[in-house]
Structure 1
């Protein structure tokens, strides 16, 4: 790992260059060595309303039965520096304000992906470092392809066959479980179960970032990536454990894509080792003591959790702007949901349709559905009144959480899109006694 003091030195150096040498900052089509490049900036606003919910009972982490309205704002600026010998350095700063409906609790598939995990954590509203890492590329061929400027992507020409290494502070889902049609919560689907595999409990702090190492073997028709990252100290926690030997999150993903703009299949496996509780053990302790089960009280080091996922995309028309997507995921569901959300089974899919068919080539219509499920132990724990970090109705009559979402992304002018969004959820929080719930939202996104 990059030591903390080294990262701070790099940040200080970059900040000095940005302030004292501002005229040198560039965003041209090349990337001169040692010159900080401004790679982009964004602002996203989400206004979302939750309907009233049928609620014969409720707990501390239920959807608000009286309905809820919430607004969120996210800001980000993104920089990169080209270094000798195929090294690159990336540094991002973000800021979040606002909240999600019902305090971003009460669902496995939460409805606003831009407030990821802020929920009950009460994070500060100041700017924070989002990414701070080094990337190195080892070319394996003379054939190259152009790489356009973008967030965490310096403009360059890279070998079509190469080894990639990233080390530092980053987001795990920047490199794994990507999908052309369901990957960007600021312009595509907003529900968590549609832009990521929610059974994949990937390592991160509360905001979604962690220290780690990624190694990728990239070929023209396939790629293989492995990543290992620091785990949080506790469920939904901001502090990260220091020791990788005692606690870590690991993932391996194989991507098959015979043609660059053709269909793609991704096969993901993950294994977490950390300070987690076990649902069955928490249940047994509660039965012996006559108390409500508490998964957090059963936390102990050395516990593990593993799972698998498959992710597919199929372009069918309009140079790939129209196409289908799907995801399926499973985890063993014995250890507590620790980081991302409370989902143990997932099946999702849908499509994106280009607006070219009605004379709006930069617009997109998206329709998606998802079914979330829990393991037997997880459902039993909640039915006895147990709480996770997102779920806790006080009781549970289990049923799969069923989600539908439709959005229309309107390109208003260059750099600005506005998206009306509707979501419908049956059995919110996996509870047949509650719901259904309806959500209407409006999202505005500015990106440079």
Structure 2
């Protein structure tokens, strides 16, 4: 910017006088003095303004250098911080001398690693189920000379492990361990066994020995049908099981009468009497056997569904304990369906037949084995919000057995009717008709009558107490024998 020319005051005054003189009369001396003062003030302001502009010009020329210096300093600071961060990230330890950003980043990484490890563990455990139960029973008989009260316990532990899928096929392995002591009142002279919870490992062990047994260990594969189809839309499934198993897990099931640890304890109400109390199931002394099961299920009309199952199990003295192969197995065929009756309430209905070529004669003096066949029905149906009815019927078609017809009926009522939703009341009655061959050999012309009443009182989700009453009339089919009455108390711990 150009500087304004500086004019001398006197020159300005002379020029002013000339211009004024040419235009009008000469001003007075006082007027000239005032005019000179005004002019002098304007010149001073112009000089001040000129100085301000020159100073601003100098500052504007020096400013880029100052800004450049500031930017360079900030860049150096950032580079130093970056270097510290890089050095801090070179090791995994956290130090208080590190930048705060590094410490927080390492802490987040450690937390993420811990969460990832937990997620991996959960992924491995996904689908695994396990459980543990302890059942203790005290029984006191009445009407039997010389019989004492009995105490027994049984512990069961199980685990179900999923295997990796093969295409659309889902697989798993199931294992169960069992141990216990005490045989309960199962040595009474009756057809039925009053305490199905009693368990003691057989094989010459002493009564004070308690040894765990691998009760079950079997494999299962669920194959959606049709093969090669779209699994989410599959309504049919083929299931394959093989290994050591309890046949009653897959046959003769019943929702109201199938768990001796929480429902009825007498064997005639837990399973079909001809198979269990009668012995036609053919399992080993501990209640298990090697076997193979094929099952086809169809849920096209869900919630109504149906299933057909075929089982082949080791039977007899050697076939059930792995001393022989399945050359003469127990064969079972079952058809079942789930229906919605009584205003849509669920019910299950099963009919089955069996063939056991390794059965034995009811008279232990008759050596060798014989062929037994029979059929049965098992049904359970809800008829109210908290009432489930059940029934079983079995008929022996071939073989020398103590009783050849069996009928059991009963009901389980939920405690919600008396404001105890976790409780249940069970009542059942049964009749075991002696066979003609047994009547001819022993003279026992009447059938055995059995009744049971229990109340399951829930103390907590894992602890229940069940007082139990049983009545056995015509024990062993002998009408001359006094009826047997029993009082019991069952304690059930489960997890």
TM range (shorter): 0.7 to 0.9
> Given that residues 387 and 413 in structure 2 are in contact (C-alpha distance below 8 angstroms), is that contact kept between their aligned partners in structure 1?
yes
| Aligned match for 2:313, one of 224, 229, 246 | 229
Paired residues for 1:127-142 under 5 Å = 127-140=212-225
Alignment CA distance shift 1:88-1:159 (3 Å): farther
Equivalent-residue separation in structure 2 for 1:171 and 1:74 (angstroms): 16
The Cα shift of 1:159 comes to 6.3
> Given that residues 121 and 206 in structure 1 are in contact (C-alpha distance below 8 angstroms), is that contact kept between their aligned partners in structure 2?
no
Task: Name the SS of the counterpart of 1:438 in structure 2.
Answer: strand
The Cα shift of 1:379 comes to 2.9
| Aligned match for 1:412, one of 443, 449, 459 | 459
The Cα shift of 1:113 comes to 0.9
> Given that residues 315 and 330 in structure 2 are in contact (C-alpha distance below 8 angstroms), is that contact kept between their aligned partners in structure 1?
yes
> Given that residues 202 and 285 in structure 2 are in contact (C-alpha distance below 8 angstroms), is that contact kept between their aligned partners in structure 1?
no
Task: Name the SS of the counterpart of 2:417 in structure 1.
Answer: helix
The Cα shift of 1:181 comes to 0.6
Which residue in 1 is equivalent to 2:242?
167
Q: CA offsets per residue over residues 116-140 of structure 1, 9 Å max, x none?
A: 6979986863000011111111012
> Given that residues 181 and 199 in structure 2 are in contact (C-alpha distance below 8 angstroms), is that contact kept between their aligned partners in structure 1?
no
Task: Name the SS of the counterpart of 2:128 in structure 1.
Answer: strand
Indicate the larger mover: 397-406 or 348-357.
Answer: 397-406
Task: Name the SS of the counterpart of 2:210 in structure 1.
Answer: coil
The Cα shift of 1:350 comes to 0.9
> What is the number of equivalent residue pairs in this alignment?
355
Which residue in 1 is equivalent to 2:128?
37
| Aligned match for 2:376, one of 302, 309, 316 | 309
Alignment CA distance shift 1:135-1:34 (3 Å): farther
Which residue in 2 is equivalent to 1:126?
211
| Aligned match for 1:115, one of 198, 208, 214 | 198
Alignment CA distance shift 1:136-1:403 (3 Å): same
Unaligned runs of 5+ in 1: 1-27, 54-64, 145-157, 280-294, 337-341, 384-395
1:191 has 2:266 as partner:
yes
Equivalent-residue separation in structure 1 for 2:225 and 2:127 (angstroms): 27
Task: Name the SS of the counterpart of 1:125 in structure 2.
Answer: coil
The Cα shift of 1:275 comes to 6.0
Which residue in 1 is equivalent to 2:368?
300
Which residue in 1 is equivalent to 2:352?
268
Equivalent-residue separation in structure 2 for 1:379 and 1:116 (angstroms): 31
User: Which one scores higher on RCO, CA 8 angstroms, separation ≥ 6?
Assistant: 1
Alignment CA distance shift 1:31-1:326 (3 Å): farther
Q: CA offsets per residue over residues 407-433 of structure 1, 9 Å max, x none?
A: 001111111111000011110111111
| Aligned match for 2:388, one of 323, 326, 333 | 323
Equivalent-residue separation in structure 1 for 2:122 and 2:469 (angstroms): 41
> Given that residues 95 and 127 in structure 1 are in contact (C-alpha distance below 8 angstroms), is that contact kept between their aligned partners in structure 2?
yes
Task: Name the SS of the counterpart of 1:344 in structure 2.
Answer: strand
Which residue in 2 is equivalent to 1:69?
149
Q: CA offsets per residue over residues 34-70 of structure 1, 9 Å max, x none?
A: 88935101000000111133xxxxxxxxxxx233210
Paired residues for 1:79-118 under 5 Å = 79-84=159-164, 85=166, 86-101=170-185, 103-115=186-198
1:211 has 2:258 as partner:
no
The Cα shift of 1:240 comes to 4.8
TM-score by length of 1: 0.73
Alignment CA distance shift 1:412-1:331 (3 Å): same
Equivalent-residue separation in structure 1 for 2:470 and 2:243 (angstroms): 36
Which residue in 2 is equivalent to 1:387?
none
The Cα shift of 1:362 comes to 1.0
Q: CA offsets per residue over residues 50-101 of structure 1, 9 Å max, x none?
A: 1133xxxxxxxxxxx2332101100111112211221111111110111212
Alignment CA distance shift 1:45-1:252 (3 Å): same
Task: Name the SS of the counterpart of 1:379 in structure 2.
Answer: helix
Which residue in 1 is equivalent to 2:426?
366
Alignment CA distance shift 1:421-1:91 (3 Å): same
Which residue in 1 is equivalent to 2:251?
176
TM-score by length of 2: 0.67
Equivalent-residue separation in structure 2 for 1:118 and 1:426 (angstroms): 30
Which structure: greater helix fraction?
A: 2
The CA RMSD over aligned residues, in Å, is 2.8
Task: Name the SS of the counterpart of 2:248 in structure 1.
Answer: helix
Alignment CA distance shift 1:120-1:315 (3 Å): farther
Alignment CA distance shift 1:416-1:46 (3 Å): same
Which residue in 2 is equivalent to 1:258?
339
Alignment CA distance shift 1:411-1:34 (3 Å): closer
The Cα shift of 1:313 comes to 1.1
Equivalent-residue separation in structure 1 for 2:387 and 2:136 (angstroms): 26
Indicate the larger mover: 77-86 or 416-425.
Answer: 77-86
